[in-house]
Amino acid sequence: MAGIIFAYGDDEFLVDLRAGELASGARRGGSNFPVEVLDGRPGTVESFAAFLKNLTESLEVLPLFSREKVLWIRSVDFLGELATWESGEILEKILAQLARAGGLGVTVVLSACPVDRRLKTFKRLLKISDAQEVHGRGIDAVAIVFEETLKRKKIVFSEDARRHFFAKVGTDARFAAEELEKLDIFLGSRRSVQWEDVAEVICDGGTDDFFEPVEAFYRRNGKAYTVALEKFFANRGEPRALLAAIQSRNRLLIQMKTLERIGLWKVDGRGMPSQMTLKRAAERRRVAVICGKEKDPCDIFSQNSWYLGRLSDCLDRFTLGEFVHVQRSLLRLFEDLIRNWQEVSFGWLVEQFSLLL
């Protein structure tokens, strides 16, 4: 059926998986013609113009021996931040082109993650498409991948093996799927999995999963932060990676807090800094805001507006002086790590990182 199929959700891997299934299933009568894939991440206003051109061509050029076509626009990213950019006219043209798909005999599959359900663009797509929400994120997404893979491959895990698998792969559904494929090859004709199999074959996916302790830190939840630290280091997490993650976020928060103090940092109703807010702040700093310029981890003006809005939630929990104190403490901790690297222990790491909060 020609037209638009829209797959969206909170886990990129699950959304990609479902969109791929929808695209393959949209080929009539088991057609062997490949699905054409178009990258849906233009990134900049200038790239949007090129994306529109490629979209128009893909819709109008049909296969030589067929009057039907399936086009998968993968990883669409203009459902989050675009409303803060000066590209509304381009977006209207994109939606107009998509609306032509049915009349041209083209089935368009769009996949997007994450999406801002408050955007007019998102609501319009729901109206003009066969929209399918893909449920599941984090550990729930891993559980979905786990159960579907076991059912498809007829693999049976012992209870100990199941618990050990989930402890090792963490919350990354894509990583879990890759590890299950590897395990399937390892098993050969055998279909039962024991604890020893998981211990031997499955890699530790949580070693660099520093998001949990970082989030707990900036929520100022001391208990959750300590528990997350213990989990992170128990999985042999890299302390310098965690330190760098906190330090990188803290740099941005220092800039945002400074702008807030002088009345130049505000977020709109969607919890995002408006384009006007960024422009005024940039003028005060005498720098240019360039949409889509290469990201600089030290510069808020090169960051995604949605991401900045998400970070700004913690501004009320810390003073500017506390942010600066954290940054200095991180520097001292880094120096201690380098100086005492051979003697670093689990207990020492948990204690020293706990002192940051």
309-332 pLDDT tens trace: 778 888 888 998 999 999 999 989
Q: Identify the weakest region by mean pLDDT among 5-9, 78-82, 116-120.
A: 78-82
pLDDT at 73: 86
| Amino acid, res. 133 | E
pLDDT at 237: 63
| Residues constituting the chain | 357
CA R_g for the chain? 24
Q: Per the domain annotation, does 341 fall within a domain?
A: yes
pLDDT at 76 over 60: yes
pLDDT at 255: 86
pLDDT at 80: 58
> Structure pTM?
0.54
43 DSSP assignment: -
CATH number at residue 282: 1.20.272
pLDDT at 145 over 60: yes
35 and 157 in a single domain? The answer is no
Q: Of the residues 134, 156, 189, which one is the last residue of a structural domain?
A: 134
pLDDT at 291: 40
Q: Per the domain annotation, does 85 fall within a domain?
A: yes
128 and 145 in a single domain? The answer is no
In the chain, the number of structural domains is 3
Greater model confidence, 157 or 30: 157
pLDDT at 156 over 90: yes
Q: Per the domain annotation, does 206 fall within a domain?
A: no
CB 195 within 8 A of CB 160: yes
Q: Residue 57 is part of which domain span?
A: 3-134
Q: Where are the alpha helices (H) located in the chain, listed in sequence order?
A: 12-25, 45-60, 88-99, 101-104, 120-128, 139-153, 159-169, 173-187, 195-201, 211-218, 222-234, 239-261, 275-285, 305-311, 320-339, 346-354
150 and 128 in a single domain? The answer is no
Question: Given strand 3-9, what is the order of strands in its sheet?
Answer: 36-39, 69-76, 106-112, 3-9, 130-134
Using left for φ > 0, alpha for ψ between -120 and 50, and beta otherwise, residue 299 falls in beta
125 and 147 in a single domain? The answer is no
H helix or E strand, kind and range, residue 69 = strand 69-76
Distance CA 296, CA 247 (A): 14
150 and 123 in a single domain? The answer is no
CA angle 304, 310, 313 (to 5 degrees): 140
- If pLDDT is split at 50, 70 and 90, which confidence band does 258 have? confident
Q: Per the domain annotation, does 174 fall within a domain?
A: yes
37 DSSP assignment: E
Distance CA 15, CA 27 (A): 19
CATH number at residue 32: 3.40.50.300
Structure tokens given for 136: 């599941």
Report pLDDT digits (tens) over 173-198: 888 888 899 899 888 889 999 988 88
Distance CA 251, CA 221 (A): 20
115 and 231 in a single domain? The answer is no
Per-range mean pLDDT, top range of 77-86, 229-238, 242-251, 287-296: 242-251
In 3D space, the residue among 307, 177, 185, 175 whose CA is nearest the CA of residue 253 turns out to be 307
What is the average pLDDT across 112-141?
A: 83
129 and 46 in a single domain? The answer is yes
CA 11 to chain centre: 8
Count Cβ atoms below 10 Å from residue 344 Cβ, excluding itself. 14
Q: Write down the residue that tokens 């720098």 correspond to.
A: 287
CB 229 within 8 A of CB 288: no
Report pLDDT digits (tens) over 93-113: 788 888 887 777 788 888 888
289 and 261 in a single domain? The answer is yes
Report pLDDT digits (tens) over 211-253: 778 888 988 888 888 888 887 876 666 787 788 888 888 988 9
158 and 219 in a single domain? The answer is no
**φ/ψ of residue 222, rounded to 5:** -60, -40
pLDDT at 161 over 50: yes
- If pLDDT is split at 50, 70 and 90, which confidence band does 260 have? confident
CB 355 within 8 A of CB 329: yes
**φ/ψ of residue 138, rounded to 5:** 60, -130
pLDDT at 82: 46
| Amino acid, res. 236 | R
pLDDT at 110: 87
Greater model confidence, 169 or 85: 169
CATH number at residue 177: 1.10.8
Q: Identify the weakest region by mean pLDDT among 3-7, 51-55, 218-222, 276-280.
A: 276-280
223 and 284 in a single domain? The answer is yes
Q: Of the residues 201, 224, 247, which one is the last residue of a structural domain?
A: 201
pLDDT at 195: 87
Per-range mean pLDDT, top range of 76-85, 246-255, 277-286: 246-255
Q: Of the residues 134, 164, 187, which one is the last residue of a structural domain?
A: 134
